[in-house]
Amino acid sequence: MSVLVNKDTRVIVQGITGAEGTFHSYEMLQYGTKILAGVTPGKGGQKYAGKEGMKFKREVPVFNTVKEAAKAVKANATVIFVPQALAADAILEAIEAGIELIVTITEGIPANDMTKVFDALKRSNSRMIGPNCPGIITPGECKIGIMPGFIHKPGRVAVISRSGTLTYEAVKQLSDLGIGQSTCIGIGGDAIIGTQFIDAVQLFNEDEDSDAILMIGEIGGNAEEVAAEYIKKNVKKPVISFIAGKTAPPGRRMGHAGAIISGGQGTAESKIATLKKAGIHIVESPAEIGKKVAKVLKRKKIA
């Protein structure tokens, strides 16, 4: 019941011995994710078992390079917790090693590094989620990222979002109403991201185990509009959307590098208007995301 990741996904962690890498590897292992190896250049050959207070439930072998790690454990996914200055290099290394799914958590990667990464991704067979994202989770099976696992519930609603805590909010509203999720993808808040709304919508449209798609967008860029165009033509499943930032002033970056209204483009109003035209159900209040999804599912006789 999922896209991209499931209970058989074989994961390595780039930057596993750092503070963030250690903490989240511990959390992912607790959730049941198959973390099979780690990469920290210079620490190859070690067996790593976390730190005091976050002792891994099993030791994880550490390698100097992604290629070695991927080969040793037959990895098909990697998660990157490498600092901003070195992150692009870490992603390029993962692409070169042929890893199918790259999840980049790192925030603040320079835009000019990301143009190179994006170009390399297009010429490869790898897909990237992020950067500057919470990651991806198939509830009950596999969590690759930093989201709190316990708020999720296995089910049949797909979630795609540019945000972190707002996604958790939406997911919790769903779970509290008994609505489970097939897979939740945090695509990230930067201007250049590996998987855009349209890519994720395509995946879920083809996924037999997703009945409806919840798309959480925000001001800046036109990725929501591009996805809406696709949805209008190709998607029969109900799509529900909330767009954050109706009260955001123009020309100011609202936290996320990509959340900026520039030259009058990318306002919440214009996005909502385009989405409505594409037949997408719009949630007006962020407090009623779960309620709206429940209503749409009921009307479509899905739940």
> Which residue ranges make up the site for another protein (CB under 8 A)?
23, 27, 84-85, 108-112, 114-116, 118-119, 122, 146-148, 150-151, 161-169, 172-173, 189-192, 196, 216, 218-219, 221-223, 226, 242, 244-249, 252-259, 263-264, 284-288
**Which CB, 135 or 238, lies closer to another protein?**
135
Q: Which of 24, 152, 256, 281 does the annotation list as catalytic?
A: 256
**Which CB, 10 or 256, lies closer to another protein?**
256
**Which CB, 108 or 300, lies closer to another protein?**
108
Phi, psi at 154, each rounded to 5°: -60, 140
Phi, psi at 263, each rounded to 5°: 60, 35
CB of 286 to another protein, least distance (A): 4
**Which CB, 21 or 189, lies closer to another protein?**
189
CB of 33 to another protein, least distance (A): 16
CB of 259 to another protein, least distance (A): 6
CB of 170 to another protein, least distance (A): 9
Query: What Rg do the C-alpha atoms of the chain give, in angstroms?
Result: 19
Closest residue by Cα to residue 246 from 254, 258, 238: 254
Q: Is 256 a catalytic residue?
A: yes
Active-site positions read 256
